[in-house]
Amino acid sequence: MKGLLISFEGTEGGGKSTQVARLAERLRAEGRRVRLVREPGGTPIGEEIRFTLKHSPHNGAMTAEAELLLMNASRAQLVREVIRPALAAGEVVICDRFYDSTVAYQGYGRGLDLGHVNAVIDFAVGETRPQLTLILQVPPAVSQARLAARQASLPVMRDRIEEADRSFFERVEKGYAALAEAEPERIKVIAAEAPEAAVAAAIWSAVAPWLPRTA
């Protein structure tokens, strides 16, 4: 593999999208070719699945099992249509969420069996795994406040997953903590309550060592 695959993770309201954009800008300024993708989504098929998962008027009845499979249907498409070709061409691929979200949200959050969750993920991604994963961590109160503000500003596009209750997000946090503990080489936890520039600097310190090893 010539390129570099980096994923960003964390509960809502951690400033992920802002930091993803900042990192992409900095890498491009250094002359790197960068591909930004988000999950669920990132391909035309994936964006349709994203709509079903988050905003469809029919999704109130969606089961946790269907949610797991749809997340991974979107992922299977993204990996083959976008990520693998980009990595083969030596690009830096930055994913705004990847499979750790599934372990945290569908595994820990929804309570699905982790063996099943990991089997589905394995099928969706195969050998395509991030070299580096950055979990942007904010205290639950900050995350909840930012989430509430976002919900209030989007009254028409209600978001099924963001509507989940507080205990769900606490379980998701536990999931991320367990992942970070299990894979300290790949997963770095970034304290994301700090000022934006300081968070960006911490992210750059984690990314920079990987750059000499990529095309």
Query: Cis omega (within 30 of 0) on the bond before 57?
Result: no
7-26: which residues touch ligand TMP (CB under 6 A)?
12
Q: Do 45 and 32 form a contact (C-beta atoms < 8 A)?
A: no
Q: What is the DSSP pairing of strand 34-38 with strand 92-96?
A: parallel
- Closer Cβ to ligand TMP, 43 or 102, answer by number: 102
Q: Which of 38, 46, 79, 124 binds ligand TMP (CB under 6 A)?
A: 38
Please compute, for residue 130, the number of CA atoms within 13 A of its CA located in the half-sphere on the CB side: 24
> Which residue is closest to ligand TMP by CB?
105
Segment contacting ligand TMP (CB under 6 A): 32-40, 79-87, 111-119, 128-136?
A: 32-40
- Closer Cβ to ligand TMP, 3 or 107, answer by number: 107
Segment contacting ligand TMP (CB under 6 A): 28-36, 79-87, 100-108, 125-133?
A: 100-108
Q: Do 11 and 172 form a contact (C-beta atoms < 8 A)?
A: yes
Residues facing residue 190 across a β-bridge: 136
Instruction: Tell the smallest beta-carbon distance from residue 30 to ligand TMP (Å).
Output: 26
Q: Which of 48, 81, 162, 170 binds ligand TMP (CB under 6 A)?
A: 162
Q: Can you read off the two tokens belonging to residue 51?
A: 């709509």
The set of residues, in sequence order, having a beta carbon less than 8 Å from that of 43 and lying 6+ positions away, is: 74, 77, 78, 81, 82
Q: In this structure, which amino acid lies at residue 61? A: A
Residues that bind ligand TMP (CB under 6 A): 12, 38-40, 71, 97, 101-102, 105-106, 161-162
